[in-house]
Amino acid sequence: MEKTLHILLIEDDMDTCNRISNYIASKDNMDLAGVTNNSYVGIQYVQNTLPDAVILDLELHHGGGNGLFFLSDLNKLGLEKKPYILVTTYNSSKITLESARRLGADFIIGKYEDSYSPESAVDFLEQLLPMIEMTESTSNTSYMKDNQKDLEQGLIRRIHRELELIGISPKVVGYKYLTDAIMITIDGPTTNISQILGNKYKKSNSSVERAMQNAINRAWNSNDTETLLNCYTAHINPDRGMPTIKEFIYFYAEKITDGR
């Protein structure tokens, strides 16, 4: 007997809610675990009904919370088997969508796409029904870990490429510190990067900062202006002539996150 897919809908547009609810009601292999326009209520639904899948709107202007809060709170539940998360959104920000993926969104459909309709989101989940049915918590966890590892390795390769383009080579001590600092900032800005790196490498904060600034200084002193202007497009204080550690790290974290 085919499994019935229990779907939780977190959406603040009433018309979309009605269309999805009616469409699911017409299906023999699906039912609604609940409908809410509030991300915090959505977490309660997950705890009480254990849905197989969630159709999640990121921006809940007419409800409460937002989709990113829901994903973050869902991770904190420590569920043995997480529901499949299908995000539907008008938001096209690369940073926001990447954050959703990092927090566990399985797939994202843009509501601005010509092919989108509320019914198409349901059809998408119906196509995945056999896979959702056979997915166990162990394989799901392994899949997410593998994806996370692949994503991190890809980001590190991109950071290395950017550093080497401006002449900061792996032989320079500051190379590994700058790589880690940019990765940390991509995950979320923090004010104590030097302390984090110092603890990791068993070095003083000042030696970490000195190594990073020396690497930046060497790049600006040894490279031609055209190369630097092509690679580093942020404003630089003319009195200094080169970026500070913070400016450098934040520029590359944003550049890589935006996919520039």
- Full 3-state SS string of 55-86: EEECECCCCECEHHHHHHHHHHHCCCCCCEEE
Residue 23 CA to residue 9 CA, distance in Å, equals 12
Residue 149 CB neighbours (<10 A): 10
Tokens encoding 67: 């989709």
The domains of the chain, with CATH numbers, are 5-135 (3.40.50.2300), 144-257 (1.10.10.10)
Sheet holding 53-57, edge to edge: 30-36, 5-10, 53-57, 84-89, 107-110
Residue 152 has what DSSP assignment? H
* Per-residue pLDDT tens listing for the chain (260 residues): 467 899 999 999 999 999 999 999 999 999 999 999 999 999 999 999 899 999 999 999 888 899 999 999 999 998 888 999 999 999 989 999 999 999 999 999 999 999 899 999 999 999 988 887 666 444 455 555 555 676 788 889 999 999 999 999 999 999 999 999 999 998 877 778 999 999 999 999 999 999 999 999 999 998 888 888 889 999 888 888 899 999 999 999 998 887 65
Per-residue pLDDT, 144: 55
Q: What does the alpha-carbon distance between residue 220 and residue 205 come to, in Å, rounded to a whole number?
A: 23
Question: pLDDT by residue (tens digit) across 31-80?
Answer: 999 999 999 999 999 999 899 999 999 999 888 899 999 999 999 998 88
d(CA 206, CA 199): 12
Going by C-alpha positions, the residue among 36, 106, 39 that lies closest to residue 68 is: 39
Asked if residue 212 lies in contact with residue 245, where contact means CB atoms within 8 angstroms, the answer is yes
